[in-house]
Copies of this chain bind each other. A is one copy, B any other.
Amino acid sequence: MGGKQNPEQRRRELCDAAIALLAREGIKGVTHLKVDRKAGVADGTTSFYFRTSSALIRAAANRIADLDLADLTAATRSDNGDDGPSPAVGLARLVIRSGTGARLVRSKARYELVMPSSRDAGLAEAFSHNQQRFFELHRNVVVALCPSDTDPGLIDEKSYVLLTFISGLMLALARGDRTINSDEELHGIITAIVAAAPAASHREGVAAVDR
């Protein structure tokens, strides 16, 4: 690699190398020197761009978060026209793809950082913005699937249940579980989860909960 790249492009390449190391070896596998070697740049380059180990890990986390958000936003667009995939189909495709190729690398790296982010405010910040946006994007999927639902509380609850299921599934895929491995099967499951009318007993249960 020459010196022609601009700093932003170089930072992204170093983050991508750090993400690959995270996926393969966990946080302990991410050192400045290993990132230099992985990215094929001169020793010391990573230290120049990211002074501390913490800065490097946070930058990788921000890169993961940016890519995740861009992917989920594109996948769940509802303005694809009549021929485009529905938000639910887009979500199913994206999640299944998170179990293979470059997205699997990113997914493994993400889950390596989940527990550390509960101990590190800087790392938590990289993901906290996405948590709210992910909820909103899953909510779009629910609204598109259930246009007749009008109770915002019910829509929120379905959205949270869907988001939580998808999170558990992505963790399973990142670990190598392949119980669900087709877009079609996952789309059917998403549809069933979202269609689930919380029965009378449920609503009473929720109402009875003291906040």
Contact = CB atoms under 8 A, between A and B. Distances in A.
A28 B144 CA distance: 44
B206 A184 contact: yes
Interface string A161-196: 101111111011011100110111101110111011
A118 interface: yes
Interface centre among A164, A165, A202, A203 (most CB of B within 10 A): A164
Q: Do most interface residues of chain A lie in helix, strand or loop, or is the interface mixed?
A: helix
A42 interface: no
Contact of A189 (B111, B161, B163, B191): B161
A120 B169 CA distance: 21
Contacts of A168: 163-169, 171
Contact of A111 (B114, B166, B196): B114
